[in-house]
Amino acid sequence: MAKNAPKKSGSPKKTAAKKPKQSARPSVTGKSLIIVESPSKAKTINKYLGKQYSVMASVGHVKDLPKSKFGIDVEKGFRPQYTVIKGKTAVLNEIKQAAKGADRIYLAPDPDREGEAIAWHIAEELNGDSDKIYRVLFNEITERAIKKALEHPVKVDKNKVDAQQARRVLDRIVGYKISPLLWEKVRRGLSAGRVQSVAVRLVCEREKEREAFVSEEYWSVTAKLEGRNPPPFEARLIQVHGKEATLSTGEQSQALVDKLRSKPFTVKQIEKRDRQRNPLPPFITSRLQQDAARKLRFSPKRTMMLAQQLYEGIEIGPEGPVGLITYMRTDSTRVAQEALDEARSFIQDRFGPDYLPAQANVYKTKKGAQDAHEAIRPTSVLRAPESLKAHLTKDHYQLYKLIWDRFVASQMTPARLEMTRVDITAGDALFRATGQVVKFPGFTVLYTESQEDRHAEKKAPTAEASNPPKAEEESEEDEERMLPPLSVGERLKLLGLDPKQHFTQPPPRYTEALLIKDLEEKGIGRPSTYHTILSTIVDRKYVEKVEGRLKPTDLGRVVNELLVEHFPDVLNVQFTARMETELDEIEEGEKPWVETVREFYEPFTKRLTKAQKEMRDVKREEIPTDIVCEKCGRNMVIKWGRHGRFLACPGYPDCKNTKEFVEENGKVRVVDNVEESKEICPKCGNPLVIKRGRFGRFLACSTYPQCDFTKAIGTGVKCPQSGCGGDLVEKRTRRGKTFFACSNYPKCTYALWNRPISTPCPECKAPFLVEKFDKRSGPKIVCLNKECGYEGEEKASIELPIGQTSSKK
């Protein structure tokens, strides 16, 4: 049976998940207060309940460790010193006021560690009155699930709270202790993260593999052939003289081709075999992020934002807000019996009995997975994607359809294929053609998995995966080909012989999907953290995206080298995975959280003390080069600055000459510190170029110093102030934050923090929109007209003015 083949069972596998302690069922009289995390979830829940319920939103966490100090009392058992988050005092006061008039209080944040911590903090603020405070868990925001949860309330799970506290304290220790060291040794403003730093290490190590890779030449030979029956087909050379065909030069390949042209091509053997392709399990968080990245080109962050909204509730016409999917942070493939029954009934009615297995497909959840939540699935398969299309945005629809298709397909029969392999002789050479015929499509009528899906259990590509393919191996393209009817001994007509040159390729850089896959396989992080890890390492400028793949920056590489050298445990993949296991043990009540933190803290502080003395001082480091300063004749040195490494004259401050450079084969090469633009200097008529200065980018004359004209980079948007006539241009504060202001300053003081986009609002026809980044919902394009309120998705296709790039952080 294939590795991903579902097990057959009459009912889903029993879960061993620890059930929260049940609370005494509250009386049903009097007013009840329900507290959730988000206003959208509150709105959805509110429509299902009567007037005796009031639903409020905490809008995420209400308390956390302080930003201005360490906030952990090490001497008193690592006691966290929580404070109310800035801006949440008013929210808490409203909750407290509402709680005074409630007979019962139901704490209903998300059913995970972070949600449990939120519930615990709110309970503390309400004085932890156990007689009327309950915890309820919603795996889906539907009327049935909400009412069932309210009928079976539990108490706040202190073990789960302790697991969250342990993670938060560990992260604070690493971030608060290592970050100042990086400020001192590299540059101010840097930060380190316990899990994020390991992700950066993986990206850096992949880059080292690429740099160390030595490409090798190899050749393939493909014959285009025609039999008695159409169509023509192709066959690949796999053997010569009974051994694997290994052709390393063009001369070798051409000599063989010349020899084979005169040989008869004859069918030696035909092998047909039936093959079964099994459906994949419903989505867990990591697989959803990977599939959405591959099929929809969504970033993990965007995927989770959209999934959160589908879970919390979307307006569906007269029906109002409806939770469309189950909870989206899970690593379990378990599915509730009622959902299985509904899916099987739907498949029977929609596709017929041939597509319905005799028993429900039940999939094995990977070892170490938390089984508290179901797999990600639609709350009802009866809400087919097409029926909701008119009510969903394009992105919501695409993601919902992906989830719906995968879930329904997971409960369908396998696809049955007939695989054909034809061996063809030509002198001492053996060629092979492969193809397939679909005998029964099964689940593929609904969901077609990619090659990466089919090999989901394999590890991410490594250097070894880039070696020349074995001649006998069948490629995915070969398998998809249709072959004509052929017979053993049939003489084939040679239409062409094509020798082709190839080179072995270095291991590919990580995509976001591949990095998530690697993190998951190595046990680093949890489903709820993958998208945050990826966005953090890019936001911190440790990693950048190049053609959709992740590449370490110079800053990322040097920080990684320093941390690996001085904090090998913190940056160790196995150590980090073990910490995740210990957090699970804390949640299961098997280990005290303070013990886990102490075991980490004591050796960590010793390494910290040593690193403070011995860590390389990159900030003050000057590496000599052979590049001569054309202004004063000294040999320039490599230094570190705000934007990474650069060449500087050691004669500073007498000589302030600097240059950008690249390293090629160990040698330093100067590159122009400019980008071309299409603008012309109004003073001398020469082209303007984009340069980078102390306060950001600006336009300057390409003939400087003969012409010293400069100007700010425009956005292509006119100042909206009546009668001004100026342009909105890019500027930077003394602290390095980008903003956009009128070019007529100080006569006009109009300014924006958000980048203006020269696209009129499609709703109110305002002359421009702005690019906005929301911490909860991600990047979007919005209208500044408050009466309009237009919001749209961030479009990669929006054309920016010369040299302009996205400003989202």
Mind telling me the catalytic residues? 327
Helix (H) or strand (E) holding 635: strand 635-641
**CA atoms of 404 and 282, how far apart (whole Å):** 9
**CA atoms of 345 and 745, how far apart (whole Å):** 68
280 near 4, Cβ under 8 Å? yes
Length of the chain in terms of residues written? 809
DSSP annotation of 665 reads T
528 near 373, Cβ under 8 Å? no
The three-state DSSP-derived secondary structure of 537-579 is HHHCCCEEEECCEEEECHHHHHHHHHHHHHCCCCCCHHHHHHH
CB atoms within 10 A of CB 627: 18
75 near 98, Cβ under 8 Å? no
Determine if the peptide bond prior to 746 is cis (ω within 30°): yes
Q: Could you tell me the sign of the dihedral formed by the alpha carbons of 155, 158, 159, 162, in that order?
A: positive
In order of 247, 459, 550, 753, the CA distances from 644 in angstroms are 44, 33, 18, 25
Q: Name the 3-class secondary structure at 587.
A: helix
469 near 514, Cβ under 8 Å? no
**CA atoms of 36 and 137, how far apart (whole Å):** 10
Residues 6 or more apart whose CB falls under 8 angstroms from that of 574 comprise none
**CA atoms of 538 and 300, how far apart (whole Å):** 13
Tell me phi and psi for residue 446, to 5 degrees. -115, -40
User: Which tokens in the block code for residue 408?
Assistant: 């329904």
In order of 183, 728, 755, 805, the CA distances from 738 in angstroms are 22, 13, 9, 12
The torsion defined by the Cα of 712, 718, 720 and 721, in degrees rounded to 10, comes to 60
User: How distant is the alpha carbon of residue 104 from its chain centre?
Assistant: 40
Give me the amino acid identity at 507. P
Residues 6 or more apart whose CB falls under 8 angstroms from that of 149 comprise 108, 136, 137, 138
**CA atoms of 448 and 409, how far apart (whole Å):** 9
Place of tokens 């019996």: 337
In order of 5, 49, 279, 638, the CA distances from 450 in angstroms are 16, 43, 12, 46
Residues 6 or more apart whose CB falls under 8 angstroms from that of 765 comprise none
Tell me phi and psi for residue 743, to 5 degrees. -70, -15
745-754 contacts at long range (C-beta below 8 A, 24 or more positions apart): 748/719, 748/721, 748/724, 750/719, 750/720, 750/721, 750/724, 750/726, 752/728, 754/807
Angle at the Cα of 350 from the Cα atoms of 348 and 355, rounded to 5 degrees: 50
User: Which tokens in the block code for residue 71?
Assistant: 């906030």
**CA atoms of 266 and 282, how far apart (whole Å):** 46
Angle at the Cα of 32 from the Cα atoms of 30 and 38, rounded to 5 degrees: 165
User: How distant is the alpha carbon of residue 546 from its chain centre?
Assistant: 15
Give me the amino acid identity at 266. T
578: number of CA atoms within 13 Å, CB side?
11
Question: What angle do helix axes 554-566 and 196-212 make, rounded to 10 degrees?
Answer: 110
CB atoms within 10 A of CB 64: 19
The beta-strand segments (E) located in 76-121 are 79-80, 83-84, 104-107
